[in-house]
Each structure stands twice: as C-alpha cells, then as structure tokens.
Amino acid sequence: MNQTNMKYQTGAMGRRDFLRSSAMIGALPLLTGTLSACASDKGIGKNTSGTPTAISSRLPQRKLGTLEVSALGFGCMGMSYNRGPHPDRKACIQLLHRVVDSGVTLFDTAQSYGPFINEALLGEALSQFKNSINITTKFGHAFVNGKQQKGVQNSRPENIRQVAEDALRRLKIETIAIFYQHRFDPNVPIEDVAGTVKDLIQEGKVLHFGLCEVSPQTIRKAHAVQPVTAIQSEYSLMWKLPEESGVLSTCEELGIGFVPYSPLGRGFLGGGLNEYTKFHAEIDNRATLPRFTPEAIRANTRLVEALNAFGRTRGITSAQISLAWLLAQKPWIVPIPGTTKPAHLAENLSAADIALPPDDLRELNEMVSRIEIAGNRYSPDQEKLVGH
C-alpha cells in the first residue's frame, strides 16, 4: 500500500459501519469535549475582553486569499433550509458548538437560507466565538415582504448595504468574514457590486469579498475593482465544471481561494441515498433536481459503489474519499460539507487527515472518469442563474 500522511484505517468501512462505530465510541476523538449551549470550559478559552473563544487547532489550516481558515469549513444551510426536516434549534446549537470544538473556523450561511433564520441560528450559537471563527454570508437574491422572488436577483448597491446591516444584526457580529454575491445580477454591473463591497470593507463591516457561481470573465472584472478572496461554486467528484470552465485556473492565477459547496453531491456521495429515498416536496430541494430522480440515483449508484470499492482496502468511506480528493486538488481549496448528525461530522472532518498519494489519486481519477453521471445538477431555469 502507498504511504500517506495518515495511515489508512485497516479493514472495510462503509458509512453505516462508521456511524455505528462512532456511536459506540462517542463520535471519535475529534469530537471529545462536547459543548453545551452555554459552552463548557473544555476546549474553550477567553480572550482579553472575556469573550469565549475556541482554542482547538486539530484541523490543518489553509488560506483563502489572505484569510487563514481550517482546511474544512462547515456549510450551515441544511440546518434550516433545502434539506428536509431538521433537528430542533437546541440540537443544532449543540452541533454547531461541537463543530467549533473540533477546530473548524469557517462557517457558511446566507440571507436566503430560511430565509433569514439560518443567520439567526448562527447568531445565537456562534456569536460567543466571533473572535476566533469566520462567518461568511451572502447577498443578491430579491425578496418582497420576506419572500424570495424565484429567479430574481437584486445586487443594487442599496440592497447590498441593507443585507449587510441585517446580517450583522442577525449574526450578532461586527464584521462579516466573506461577503459573497450569491448569484450574478445581470442588471447591475459587477464593477458596481465590487465597489459597494469595497466601501463596506473600508467601513469595517466586511473583511473580504466573494463571488458564487461566476465565470472567469466576471471574476477578473470584479477583482480589478476589489480583490476577490474566494469563489464559491459547486465542485465534487460528480461535478467538475470549475476545472473545465477555467474558474480554478483563474483563481490560481489571481491568488483567489476556492470554496466548493455540495462537496458530497448534496449527500449522495455519502452513500446513504438510494432510488427509494423520498425527498420532502416542500422543504428539500433535491425533490426538484434532475439528478435526484429515482432513475438518476439508480444510475449514479455506480459511482458510490466504485468509491466504496476504492475505500474498502484503505479503511475509508466514500464521503472521506470525496473530501480528501477535493483537498488534494489545490492547497487553496476549502470544502464546506454540512450535516445535522454528529457522527457524519466526525466522519467528514477525519478526511482532513487523509492524504491520497499520487498513485491512489491517479487510480481514483481513472475510475471516476469511466462513470457517466446521470441527470443535471439543476433544472434549466436554475442553471440559467449560474456561470455568468
């Protein structure tokens, strides 16, 4: 077996096996010292102002532009949006505290998640750690009377400013670590968007500027006005468009970090879904996505089976393989897997210590290249909103 920076665990281990063993041993050493909603003393210190701060450094560090963060971040959307029924607020807060105690320093949310309630959840759970973590959020969708207008964007300068003020209030922080444009707005020049965020940075309300699902041309135009710290787009073993479109090479050229969302293919690469899985029609957006029809899931199960076969002799799960693959692509890539389950959290974060050697990466890439992915990631209307 090839040598790695972390010895592969011995024996086969699927996701169910991992969850079973994690439940038995308390969700792995990564997650020792579970925090209560009020934060226990274990794993938590205080800065000079008396605010509790996380002191764990168990995860490797990476840089998005000039911003140093943990090698794996945490996507918070699924705690209150687009992923079906979710745990109650207390359980979510406890899990978020556990994420902090595990060494994660990058937390991702957005105005549209809920809408609004995901930011409020993070404000309640994480504001006490604001001096030691980075909370990112997003602007750009249009709302009328608190309801999102499907397919309509609003990146007018006055709206960007209002979203920033509202986010700061809900998150209970003074500065947004990265303020992303959630989707490109064809009615507002990207230079005006970048200029508005530049003003917010100068005012101390935002630290860094980010963009989601945009083209290399848009990145360059924005970067010329206000340096872009991170691009957030879908990227995984199921979706490699950032490679093909030139986005990753543009990021490398300009010194911009990359944050893959849905690094586990909206949960599919974890291996827990099958053609009989039912998605809640109203609160789980996978019910509307072509890739999650029973026929597509049945066809794409070949990929999960291949990952399981790859991991069987290495003692790692399909989810860990998927995250380790992303981390191996570039040192400035920071995936943000999300979950509502402590055992899945332990499984995901363990991937930060798995270094796939060149021979294994070559084998993995060749294996995946032979599998054609069935179903588009978005509907035609949704796909129109990305890649500008």
In contact, 233 and 261? CB cutoff 8 Å = yes
Please tell me the number of Cα atoms within 13 Å of 323 on its side-chain side.
Answer: 29
**How far, in Å, CA of 293 to CA of 276, rounded?**
10
The residue type found at 320 is: Q
Set 8, 81, 113, 261: catalytic member: 113
113 noted as active-site residue: yes
Residue with tokens 């479109």: 245
Q: Which two tokens stand for residue 45?
A: 């210190």
If DSSP states are collapsed to H, E and C, what string results for 241-290?
HHHHCCHHHHHHHHCCEEEEECCCCCCHHHCCCCCCCCCCCCCEHHHHCH
Sorted by sequence, the CB contacts under 8 Å of residue 189 that are 6+ apart come out as none
- Is the separation of the CB atoms in 44 and 54 below 8 Å? yes
In angstroms, rounded to a whole number, what is the distance separating the alpha carbons of residues 319 and 210?
Answer: 26
Residues facing residue 75 across a β-bridge? 108
CA distance 2 to 22: 26
Residue with tokens 């893959």: 260
Sign of CA dihedral 22, 98, 330, 2: negative
Strands 141-144 vs 147-153: parallel, antiparallel or unpaired? antiparallel
Active site positions, annotated: 113
